A and B are shown apart, each in its own frame.
Chain A
Amino acid sequence: MPDDSLPYLTIREVGERLRRRELSPVELTTAMLDRAEGLDGSLNAFITVTREAALEQARLSEKGLLAGHDLGPLHGVPISLKDLYQTAGVKTTGGSKILADWVPHADATVTRRLKLAGAIVLGKNNLHEFAYGATNDNPHYGPSRNPWNRERITGGSSGGSGAAVAAGIGYASMGTDTGGSIRLPAALCGVIGVKPTYGLVSRAGVLPLSWSLDHCGPLTRTVEDAALVLNAIAGHDHADAASAGRVTPDLTTAMDGRVRGLRIGLLREYMGDNVLPEIAAAVRAALTTLEGLGAGVEEVSVPEVEHRAGAVFAILHAEASAIHERWLRTRREDYGADVLERLLQGERLTATQYLKGQQARRVLVARFAALFEQIDVLVTPTVPILAPTLPEARGPAARGQLLGFTQIFNVLGLPAVSVPCGFSTTGLPMAMQVVGRPFEEHTVLRVAHAYEQQAGWHKHRPAV
Chain B
Amino acid sequence: MQLPADQPASNPDNDDLERAVATMAEAIERLDELGLADERGRVIVEPASAFHWS
A binding-site residues for B, Cβ under 8 Å: 86, 92, 99, 102, 104, 198, 203-208, 211-212, 214, 239-242, 273-274, 276-277, 304, 307-311, 313-314, 317, 326, 337-338, 341-342, 344-345, 348-349, 353, 355-360, 362-364, 384-385, 394-397, 399-401, 403-404
Contact = CB atoms under 8 A, between A and B. Distances in A.
B3 A212 contact: no
A314 B8 contact: no
B21 A348 contact: yes
A203 B47 CA distance: 12
Range for the number of chain B residues in contact with chain A: 35 or more
Interface of B: 1-12, 15, 17, 20-21, 24-25, 27-36, 39-40, 42-54
B4 A400 contact: yes
Nearest to B27: A310
Contact of B36 (A363, A384, A400): A363
A104 B11 CA distance: 33
A207 B51 contact: yes
B7 to A, nearest CB: 4
Nearest to A273: B2
Contacts of B6: 308-309, 400, 404
B interface SS class: loop
Most A CB within 10 A of own CB, among B10, B11, B49: B49
Given A359-B43, A400-B3, 12 more contacts: A203-B51, A204-B51, A205-B51, A211-B49, A308-B6, A342-B10, A348-B17, A348-B24, A359-B31, A362-B43, A364-B34, A404-B6
A363 B43 CA distance: 10
Contacts of A395: 11
B34 A399 contact: no
13 contacts: A207-B51, A208-B49, A211-B46, A241-B50, A242-B47, A309-B27, A338-B12, A348-B24, A355-B45, A358-B46, A359-B39, A362-B42, A394-B11
Nearest to A304: B34
Contacts of B45: 212, 355, 358
A344 B45 CA distance: 23
Nearest to B34: A363
Contacts of B9: 396
A374 to B, nearest CB: 20
Contact of A273 (B1, B11, B24, B48): B1
A363 B36 CA distance: 8
B18 to A, nearest CB: 9
Sorted nearest first, the 8 A-B pairs with minimum C-beta distance are A212-B46, A400-B7, A310-B27, A309-B6, A337-B12, A396-B9, A211-B48, A313-B24
Given A208-B51, A211-B48, A241-B48, A396 B43 contact: no
B54 to A, nearest CB: 8
Contacts of B8: 313, 345
Contact of A203 (B2, B21, B49): B49
Given A341-B15, A358-B45, A359-B31, A309 B53 contact: no
B2 A274 contact: yes
B49 A204 contact: yes
Contacts of A338: 10-12
